[in-house]
Structure 1
Amino acid sequence: MVPDDTLLFQYSALGFNSHRIHLDRAYARDVEGFPDLVVNGGLTTLLLTEHLRTAHGVSPSALKARYLAPLFCARPMTLSAEARADGWGLRAFDDAGRLAVDITVEA
C-alpha cells in the first residue's frame, strides 16, 4: 500500500497529532532531514491490525510493537501477517524491502 498526504492528515487529525513531520513536507525535509512526510507509527499499527482482521478474521487482544525504521509518504510499504504458535507476526517493510515495523499479536 502507498500512504498519501490525505491519509496522514486524516489519521493525524483523528488523534490531534499536529507534529509537523507528518503534515508539513518542507519541514520534514528541510528541518528534520527526512526525504518526505513520516508515516505515523500508530497508523502503521492500525493498517497492520486491520489487515489481520480483514484478511484473516483475527482481532488482536494484545500486541507488542517494535518500530525499527521510518516509513514515508508516497512510498510503497508492504504489509504481512504470519501465523505463529504464540499468535501472529505482523510486519511492515519499506520501499527497499527493509523491515520497518515488527509486531507480535496475541489473538
Structure 2
Amino acid sequence: MQVKQVAENLGLSEHTIRYYDKAGLFPFVSRDKNGYRDFSKEDLYWIEFIKCMRQTHMPISKLKEIAELYHQGSSTKMKRKDIFLEHQKNLIDQKGLINKGLQTLEEKFKLLDEE
C-alpha cells in the first residue's frame, strides 16, 4: 500500500506519514522495486498506534525508541512496558488537570448565570 492509500485509510496527511518515516518511526516498512514505501496491513496497526499516541502528546523520540526496541525482539518487552507505563501516568495526571479545569469552568458558569 502506498503513502496516499495509507493517508486516506487512517485520516492522516501524506506529509505526516513521510515526516514520521523521516523521523525513523517506520524502520520495518519495505520498499518496492522503485523505492516507494510499501506498507502492509500490519504496518497500518503501528501507524494507528503512532497516531493515537501522538494525539496524547507522546514525543516522537519515545515512539522511535519503542520502534527500535520492538525491532530488537521480545527481550525488550519490559523496557517498552516501562515507556507505556510512564506515558499512562502522564495521561492520568493530565486527565486530573483537565477535570479540575472543567470543574473550575462549571463554577464560573454558575457565577456568571447568577449575575
**TM-score (norm: length of structure 1):** 0.29
Q: Return the structure number with greater helix share.
A: 2
Greater strand proportion: 1
Q: What is the TM-score when the length of structure 2 is the normalising length?
A: 0.28
